[in-house]
Amino acid sequence: MRTERVCYACDARIDEPAARCTCGEPLWLDVDVDSFHWDDVADAPGMWRYEPLLPVSEPPDGLFDAAGRTPLMRTTALDEFAGARVHLKIEGENPTGSFKDRGSALGLAAIGAGDGPANSNGAVGTVSHGNMAISTAAYAAAAGVPCVVLVPADIPDDRLRTISQFDPTILRVDGDYGRLYEHTLELAPALNAVFLNSDVPLRIEGQKTTALEICEAFAPETPDAIVLPTSSGGHASGVWKALTELERSGAIDDLPRLYVVQAAACAPIAAADERGADEVSRIEGDETIAYSIANADPPSGTRALAAVRDTGGSAVAVDDNAIREAQRTLASRAGLSVEASSATALAGVRYLTETGEIDAGENVVAVTTGTGLTDRLGSPAAETISLSDLKARLRAVL
């Protein structure tokens, strides 16, 4: 399979292990998909079913087999709240509880095998103190690959403990943490290592599989829309790349409209879309409960904007009240616990049906990107009763 890097924006082809084009935009991998059809899916576990579309041929066993193939569930209980036909793609059912496992699995499989696109000495790094750190460290452990995780100096102990389970080298970096993301990508080639940051070519290839699974589940139809919580724009880039590869190969006829959703307090992509700009600029973001998607300067923001424009969707923002209400509704009506950032997907669908961008009869896939079981939500209100009152209280309640 070809592994040359290409720029979606200026079509440059770069024959080096770079993450960025000379034009400044993020690169992705040229993958040969002229001939893919649904009959070509592999008889393989998890996301490796789509091996014909992925630049890795023989992933390790173990954890790699458990990445992806998450449930896609039609959830009629949410239709009224959302205003459309809701399908939920449950990314929290990945081994480390978030969508990041797809990119980590692809990346570590490539690095472990010394495959062409990895260009690595068999080591991996990442800049994260959240889901990506946990996920990268887990797959590095499973692949037996040395791993370094760069975290901010003030990371809470709880978070550090969760990452520590997988025994990576953790470095707390004292200084401007925001700079590290691009800085490590620049350093990586000289170190002969791969920094598996959020929007690098290998991670994008893994993140394609979210969309591949959604489209296969609907085949020969396609969903009308996919609604995706968005931070760096890496996941949106992977979804877009998968959709265009499927269209090019003839596996789907119509592109679902891709909508990216951000928290209103920190929504640079939605802001750019609203003002009709072609480029996403850095903003001054505020705090939001959806902290894991609060990215004021998304490295693949412009690419995500191109994705929604190309597919006929848009970038929208929802405020913390709407996010909170969607999160509560997911738990109390659908039994699904998601982190606040994931609840933006359902809040986004509601917003888009209210504004008329999505119609009531349309099939919409809301991607819930991470589990809420690791958060501590809700109000711990409970009545205390004595054993002798039990029967009477139960009769009243049940």
For 286-295, give one letter per residue: b (16+ CB within 10 A) or e.
eebbbebbbb
How far apart CA 20 and CA 197 sit, in angstroms, is 12
Give me the half-sphere count of Cα atoms (radius 13 Å) on the Cβ side of residue 343. Answer: 28
Amino acid present at 64 = F
Q: Is 392 in the site for its own copies (CB under 8 A)?
A: no
How far apart CA 195 and CA 284 sit, in angstroms, is 26
Site string for its own copies, 18-57 (x = CB under 8 A): ---------------------------xx-----------
Minimum Å gap between C-beta 376 and its own copies is 5
Residue 53 backbone dihedrals phi, psi, to 5 degrees: -105, 5
The owner of tokens 């909508």 is 259
Q: Is 139 in the site for its own copies (CB under 8 A)?
A: yes
Q: Which is it for strands 147-152 and 124-127: parallel, antiparallel or unpaired?
A: parallel
Token pair belonging to 328: 């509560």
Minimum Å gap between C-beta 390 and its own copies is 7
| Binds its own copies (CB under 8 A): choice among 250, 332, 354, 360 | 332
Minimum Å gap between C-beta 371 and its own copies is 7
Q: Nearer to its own copies by C-beta: 87 or 241? A: 87
Burial of 176 (0-12, 13-18, 19+ CB in 10 A): exposed
For residue 140, give every residue at least 6 positions away whose Cβ sits within 8 Å of its Cβ, in sequence order, or none. Answer: 108, 124, 146, 147, 166, 168
Q: Which stretch, 186-194, 235-243, 259-267, 316-324, contacts its own copies (CB under 8 A)?
A: 186-194
Q: Nearer to its own copies by C-beta: 26 or 92? A: 92
**271 within 8 A of 237, measured Cβ to Cβ:** no
Q: Is 373 in the site for its own copies (CB under 8 A)?
A: yes
| Binds its own copies (CB under 8 A): choice among 10, 23, 219, 385 | 385
Contact set for its own copies, span 192-221 (CB under 8 A): 192-193
Q: Is 170 in the site for its own copies (CB under 8 A)?
A: yes
| Binds its own copies (CB under 8 A): choice among 151, 264, 293, 352 | 151
| Binds its own copies (CB under 8 A): choice among 10, 42, 277, 390 | 390
How far apart CA 214 and CA 325 sit, in angstroms, is 26
Burial of 63 (0-12, 13-18, 19+ CB in 10 A): buried
Minimum Å gap between C-beta 126 and its own copies is 12
| Binds its own copies (CB under 8 A): choice among 11, 43, 158, 284 | 158
Contact set for its own copies, span 51-90 (CB under 8 A): 61-63, 65-66, 69, 71, 73-78, 88, 90
